[in-house]
Amino acid sequence: MNTKKHKNTPLFTALVDYTQKGIIPFDVPGHKKGNVENEFNSVLGEMTMKMDVNSSKELDMLGNPSGVIMEAEKLMAEAYDADHAFLLVNGSTSGVQYMIMSACGPKDKIIIPRNVHKSAINGLILSGAMPIFVQPEIDTELGIANGVSVENIKKAIKENPDAKAVFLINPTYFGSVSNLKGIIKLAHKHKMAVLVDEAHGAHFPFHRDLPLNAMQLGADLATASMHKTAGSLTQSSILLLNENLIPKHQVRSTINLMQTTSASYLLMSSLDVARKKLVLEGEKIFTSLLNIIREVKEEINKVPGLKAITSDYIDGVGVCDYDDTKLVVQVNDLGLSGFEVYDILREEYHIQVELAETYVILAVISVGDNRQSIEKLVTALKDISKKFYGKKPKLEVETLASLGKPKMLISPREAYYSKKKLLNIKEAEGEISGESIMIYPPGIPLVIPGEKISKEIIDYYDFLKTQNSVTINDEENPDLIKVLGE
């Protein structure tokens, strides 16, 4: 890679130059470069408001780039070893949906793990594609789902040779990486496109000790959340394409179906700057971070009642590589759930971790972290151990009920558009769900439209409510669920 040209930030530089020209705006946005006195503008500052502008000839247009946005996308593609890159302003949620809609139409089959984010389920509804769910590898001790095995993908392909695509997660929320290389080779042998949700792997290409990214391994499409681990602004993301089975114009057309025509230049220019930082300094940044993380994990593993996942978690099946920047700590030996520890950290130590599950918490370590911030988390965890270890029995609960043996009776799209009725969730056993219910984050549904609701799902949902976890469904009343019927 020619790193010299990555010193350039064509979009960001053009935006700064534009704001300094003193152009009088008679276009949108209506705040006219912050020329409205209010507390929002005063907090964000004059320059930020001036940079919140509309598309113009100088600043290019995201839906049909031919100038500085096109230049920024070319640099992004090179940084990720992709043929093409597309800047996104609605997060990887949109990127996942664009991938599915670019590869699959109504009733097309897509092989997909059940532990996908809600955005993938919504992509199925939008496209009309029919999911062929593959069982992820389950770690019952930690209560988490890992990657999918090559054997399970091979079985799904054999049973569904007419499938159009295979959808993968790289890495999972908890850092596990499947055998991406083997699965891509297998899928391409059967002329199936490979789509990769790489929302939590935007940092992968920038250090030799991190897993390989999807584009390097030959995937057809991947979406990466630059805002999650690479330092851009929240909601900014990228979609990457290797133009083989899916043409560029098809992807651009799909994006333009749904992406705003008033794209935020603050978000887009933050992607430009984040890319520059990663290419030029990523190796140095992650060398330092990985050394700190490895030391910290060793330290945590000496604390009574706590256990951090390290790279020896690799088993060659559902965990073929591991992202060490994910700090996953098992806490149920303290007699506490991950949800309880999540709340304790926030309320008593002013520490916000990414998410909790029944047995674990997850802290995401990224380019914005340093030894000082990470050590504060470790100190808090040690203190929690002193307060709770040995005071209560180990917490053991039936988890991951929805991922065990999901029963998809009709497609998510058909279920979404079917007539529905409201039931108390306790009365819904055996019914077909008309909506998704999940805890957020991570946003992996417990049940999705078209699936049969089991007693195990209901029991686990009841447990989640006792933990004050954030559950999301269509109704304001969390005890109600939409099921098919009148």
Identify the CATH number of the domain in which residue 209 sits: 3.40.640.10
State whether 384 and 418 are in the same domain. Answer: no
Q: Phi first, then psi: what are they for 362, rounded to 5°?
A: -125, 125
State whether 192 and 320 are in the same domain. Answer: no
> Is the pLDDT at 25 greater than 90, yes or no?
no
Q: Is 29 inside a domain boundary?
A: no
Strand order across the beta sheet in which 471-472 lies: 445-447, 437-439, 471-472
Domain residues for 319?
A: 282-388
**What token pair was written down for 388?**
């709770």
Assign residue 363 the CATH number of its domain: 3.90.1150.150
State whether 69 and 185 are in the same domain. Answer: yes
Q: Phi first, then psi: what are they for 62, rounded to 5°?
A: -60, -35
State whether 230 and 372 are in the same domain. Answer: no
Q: Residue 433 pairs with which residues in a beta bridge?
A: 483
Mean pLDDT of 207-217: 97
Separation in Å, CA 412 to CA 94, 118, 418: 18, 12, 10
pLDDT for the residue numbered 401: 60
Q: Is 54 inside a domain boundary?
A: no
The least confident of 27-41, 76-90, 136-150, 233-247 is 27-41
State whether 95 and 139 are in the same domain. Answer: yes
State whether 375 and 440 are in the same domain. Answer: no
pLDDT for the residue numbered 2: 80
Residue 235's SS3 state is coil
Kindly report the three-state secondary structure assignment for every residue of 214-259: CCCCCCCEEEECHHHHCCCCCCCEEEEECCCCCCHHHHHHHHHHHC
Q: Is 423 inside a domain boundary?
A: yes
State whether 376 and 408 are in the same domain. Answer: no
State whether 112 and 158 are in the same domain. Answer: yes
Location of structure tokens 């935007």: 202
pLDDT for the residue numbered 404: 60
Number of domains present in the structure of the chain: 3
pLDDT for the residue numbered 24: 87
Start-to-end CA span in the chain (Å): 60
Assign residue 411 the CATH number of its domain: 3.90.100.10
Residue pair 86/241 in contact by the 8 Å Cβ criterion? yes
Which of 223, 229, 237 has its CA nearest to residue 194?
Answer: 223
Residue 177's SS3 state is strand
Residue 210's SS3 state is coil
pLDDT digits (tens, 9 = 90+) for 51-107: 999 999 999 999 999 999 999 999 999 999 999 999 999 999 999 999 999 999 999
State whether 95 and 165 are in the same domain. Answer: yes
Query: What average pLDDT does the structure give for the chain?
Result: 93
Q: Is 451 inside a domain boundary?
A: yes
Write down which residue in 211, 244, 259 finishes a domain: 259
Rounded Cα–Cα distance for residues 3 and 370 (Å) = 25
**What token pair was written down for 445?**
């549904």
Rounded Cα–Cα distance for residues 73 and 271 (Å) = 10
Q: Is 140 inside a domain boundary?
A: yes
Higher pLDDT, 324 or 477: 324
Q: Is 157 inside a domain boundary?
A: yes
Residues 6+ apart with CB under 8 A from 69: 11, 59, 60, 61, 62, 87, 268
**What token pair was written down for 73?**
């996308």
Which runs of consecutive H residues, i.e. helices, occur in 163-225?
180-189
pLDDT for the residue numbered 33: 86
pLDDT for the residue numbered 42: 87
Write down which residue in 341, 366, 388 finishes a domain: 388
State whether 406 and 288 are in the same domain. Answer: no
Which of 441, 260, 271, 292 has its CA nearest to residue 366?
Answer: 292
State whether 363 and 426 are in the same domain. Answer: no
State whether 295 and 410 are in the same domain. Answer: no
The least confident of 27-41, 74-88, 271-285 is 27-41
Q: Is 443 inside a domain boundary?
A: yes
Which of 263, 246, 192 has its CA nearest to residue 83?
Answer: 246
